[in-house]
Structure 1
Amino acid sequence: MTLNALPLAADPTPGTQSAIRTVRTEAEGLSLLADALAGDLGAAFERSLDLIAGVRGRLVVTGIGKSGHVASKIAATFASTGTPAFFVHPVEANHGDLGMIGRDDAVLAMSWSGESAELTGIVSYTRRFRIPLIAITSRETSALGSAADERLVLPRVTEACPHGLAPTTSTTLQLALGDALAVALLERRGFSPSDFRVFHPGGQLGASLRHVGDVMHKGEALPLVASGTKMGEAILAISRKGFGCVAVVDEAGRLLGIVTDGDLRRHLASDLLSRTVDEVMTPSPKTIRPDTLAAKALDIINGANITALMVVDNERPVGIIHLHDLLRIGVA
């Protein structure tokens, strides 16, 4: 469903009407950007990817005003997805921070008009020392566009601001194109969830990128009983280990099934304690490998409406992970 096809409230307030116009205007701008990438802009985009991927140093991202705020965000996105990058403020660059830009680096400069005087120092520096320069601008023949080695020329769009003054649609396009570069480089390099974990150790994202093997309980904490064990002994193991379940293994240590609190309730009878775990257990329970992401473990637990997962390697239980473990590290 397109934005234009979205149903509206019977009587949207003036504020809501303004919001809808803004979102639709910016969405139309993004559509024009996608069309441009499918056309002539696509070739320049590929050349820019090649240039950034071939840099031995870092990618320096710069811009002034609203473009500078976008540039700072884009630099952070590059850095967190495997492309070493940082933001340099063009005014500070004119007062000594040019020394942060090395001969093996490349510069990505963002300016909608391409005529921002504050960028002159960085642009001149890149030309003097033959540092590759990529421009994101809407004017190919601007001062920035003319000086750059590669030009990513954005389509001219209508600003969402009713006066056409506040950068709105234009900065949305800059942000989207910067994200597109970062994601394309991520995919080209084969940047994996494990790589994400290296750069995102904190917060919920970092927690979700941890592996099950880093969180699971193992060794003496693992609730295990052998096939043929009487339920009386199994119940003691469930109580002693505190996970609300016990795994049943054969003589070779392979997982046969699991006895949970739910199984106990379903088989509650006067002869329960004299029965064996094989008669009560749930065979072929849901399991997970130790090298699986913690976020996947949470997905399985929620989907199956259970509280714990046996961690299995080569058909043998090597650990157990509980919902509380995932809550504790901040996955949920």
Structure 2
Amino acid sequence: MTSAPPLAPSFDAARALRQARETFDIEAAAVAGLKNRLTDAFSRSVQLMLEVRGRVVVMGMGKSGHIGRKIAATLASTGTPAMFVHPGEASHGDLGMIQVNDVVVAISNSGESGEITVLLPVLKRQGVPLIAITGGLQSTLARHATEVLDGGVDKEACPLNLAPTASTTAQLALGDALAVALLDARGFKAEDFARSHPGGALGRKLLTHVSDVMRSGEDVPRVAPDTAFGDMMREMSAKGGITAVVDAHQQVLGVFTDGDLRRLIENGIDLRTKCAKDVMHLRPRSIRPDALAVDAAELMEEHRITCVLVVESDGSLVGMVHIGDLMRAKVI
């Protein structure tokens, strides 16, 4: 049976705010300090990772391991093949994941993490390049490393100077700096980022095309120019409050919408004798099927409309996109 934790002293809200601000100051100073200690070892590390034929393998124990997982994920999502290997598991078989054409990034504030140092002779025999992120510049890890990135900090934000706080912030910042330098060197673009994030908002915006969300075939409202007004209204009512007017070759001649109907009624026009060509308006807004769906959304917003016709380069009607289609696809 475990004993209950000791009762905390009365909470001091002002003290909590002071400690939070001090934490920000300490961690900001830790990151700023990295800038002044950056050397050519950083550029050489980027080149090693850029030229690797295999993967970047990130390793770290404890809190450094959590940071390492994030760094590996950031690298992988920005064009650098990367994975995290737990150094403790590496000693029991997972070291086989690391191949001679890989490069290892090992993270340890002290540079003396036993689970990492025990692997160093094996990595050296394999000839695997080793990049160390450490505050222990004279440590075992630093001595075995191909390149050393100084991640040291003057003190932790922890008032006991024990819990990794400022040091892990510095490690994360160095990892982000490596990822940014690498993506720039690779010419990595937003479209590339979207391809590795197809389920995210950016992925949907940059990967979803009009052809993916448009209505097509019989779902597209369309009438001939000599269609009687009543028949045109039935087509509109059945398929979304708008209809394209097309010729025998499906060339778009015009469009008629609910808004057009309201304006005609307000002007007292007798619609019983009218046909589609009498009431349609010319040059409707349209978009190509290979355009991005987000471009259709911007077109609707710009012209304050809720629907856009989809036409091929020859002007033939192939589909229609409604704002509801874009919402269902989570493009907007």
Instruction: Quickly name the TM-score band, shorter chain normalised.
Output: 0.7 to 0.9
TM-superposed CA distance for 1:206, in Å, is 4.5
Q: Deviations over 1:18-62 (max 9, x none)?
A: 4344334433433444x34xxx62633322222112111111111
1:238 and 2:236 aligned: yes
CA contact (8 A) 1:215 1:325 kept: yes
1:61 and 2:58 aligned: yes
Q: Deviations over 1:264-303 (max 9, x none)?
A: 3233244245265575537452x44434444454455456
How many residues are matched?
A: 315
Distance in 2 between residues matched to 1:87 and 1:302, nearest whole Å: 44
Alignment partner of 1:118 out of 105, 115, 126: 115
| Corresponding residue SS for 2:243 | strand
What's the counterpart of residue 23 of structure 1?
Answer: 24
Q: Deviations over 1:43-87 (max 9, x none)?
A: 333222221121111111110111100111121222223222111
Change (3 A) 1:177 1:282: farther
Distance in 1 between residues matched to 2:156 and 2:298, nearest whole Å: 41
Identity %: 50
Distance in 1 between residues matched to 2:294 and 2:24, nearest whole Å: 32
- Cα RMSD over matched residues? 3.2
Change (3 A) 1:76 1:239: same
TM-superposed CA distance for 1:110, in Å, is 1.2
What's the counterpart of residue 314 of structure 1?
Answer: 313
Distance in 1 between residues matched to 2:119 and 2:102, nearest whole Å: 13
Q: TM-score, normalised by structure 1?
A: 0.79
1:167 and 2:164 aligned: yes
TM-superposed CA distance for 1:166, in Å, is 2.0
Q: How does 1:43-192 map to 2 (within 5 A)?
A: 43-154=40-151, 156-192=153-189
What's the counterpart of residue 222 of structure 1?
Answer: 220
Residue ranges of structure 1 left out of the alignment (5+ in a row): 1-11
Residue ranges of structure 2 left out of the alignment (5+ in a row): 1-12
CA contact (8 A) 1:160 1:168 kept: yes
| Corresponding residue SS for 1:162 | coil
CA contact (8 A) 2:158 2:164 kept: yes
Distance in 1 between residues matched to 2:296 and 2:25, nearest whole Å: 38
Alignment partner of 2:263 out of 263, 266, 273: 266
TM-superposed CA distance for 1:245, in Å, is 2.3
Change (3 A) 1:90 1:265: same
Distance in 1 between residues matched to 2:88 and 2:33, nearest whole Å: 32
CA contact (8 A) 2:245 2:277 kept: yes
CA contact (8 A) 2:245 2:280 kept: no
CA contact (8 A) 2:288 2:313 kept: no
| Corresponding residue SS for 2:119 | helix
Change (3 A) 1:224 1:91: same
What's the counterpart of residue 6 of structure 1?
Answer: none
Change (3 A) 1:212 1:22: farther
Change (3 A) 1:123 1:271: farther
Distance in 1 between residues matched to 2:246 and 2:154, nearest whole Å: 66
CA contact (8 A) 2:109 2:152 kept: no
Distance in 2 between residues matched to 1:234 and 1:261, nearest whole Å: 11
What's the counterpart of residue 9 of structure 2?
Answer: none
CA contact (8 A) 2:30 2:166 kept: yes
| Corresponding residue SS for 1:188 | helix
Q: How does 1:226-305 map to 2 (within 5 A)?
A: 231-242=229-240, 244-248=241-245, 258-268=255-265, 269-272=268-271, 274=274, 276=276, 279-281=279-281, 283-285=283-285, 287-298=286-297, 300-301=299-300, 305=304
| Corresponding residue SS for 1:136 | strand
Q: What is the letter of the counterpart of residue 168 of structure 2?
A: T
Change (3 A) 1:217 1:179: farther
Q: What is the letter of the counterpart of residue 324 of structure 1?
A: G
What's the counterpart of residue 210 of structure 2?
Answer: 212
